[in-house]
Amino acid sequence: MPVSALPQTQLDEVTRTFSAFLKERGQRQTPERFAILDEVYATADHFDADELFLRLKQKGSRISRATVYNTLELLLECDLVVKHQFGHNQAKYERAYAYWQHDHLICLDCGEILEFCDPRLQSIQDTVGDIYGFEISHHALTLYGHCRRDICPNRKEAA
């Protein structure tokens, strides 16, 4: 099983969750919507709607771009996808089932998105919530900078 793949039991639960959500909302349970769901959960990477559309097209799907966008909205509503707005770039999405709280580093040169998790942030979140009498449900922290990786294609050389 690839590192990005969820266990089959969790994938089955994702499918059941989406199916129940569509039924509850009176929405049709189309093969196209489930193909989009499957493609979303086939990777752990961040993606935008157009990248998802192109991946589906490359696999021979005849799904329209509008169906991709509309299905992503449904997946957001039923908490199976998380949407991020990193700077001025197009919105990025990632799967949300079995989602672990994490934050992001964005390279301003190559656009690479790196994830990190630091338990101290949870402690800070809890403290701030206590101080302000606020029940925090989640947070988003995005740090922007310049990566030092040799493979960064747009990295500026040190002067």
Are residues 134 and 82 part of one domain? no
pLDDT tens for the chain, residues 1 to 159? 334 567 888 889 999 999 999 999 999 999 999 999 999 999 878 899 999 999 999 999 999 999 999 999 999 999 899 888 876 677 889 888 866 677 878 788 887 888 777 888 888 989 999 999 999 877 777 788 888 877 777 766 643
Domain count, the chain: 2
Are residues 115 and 90 part of one domain? no
Are residues 72 and 37 part of one domain? yes
**Secondary structure (H, E, C), the chain:** CCCCCCCHHHHHHHHHHHHHHHHHHCCCCCHHHHHHHHHHCCCCCCECHHHHHHHHHHCCCCCCHHHHHHHHHHHHHCCCEEEECCCCCCCEEEECCCCCCCEEEEECCCCCEEEECCHHHHHHHHHHHHHHCCCCCCCCCEEEECCCCCCCCCCCCCC
Task: List the CATH number of the domain containing 153.
Answer: 3.30.1490.190
Domain interval for residue 8 = 1-99
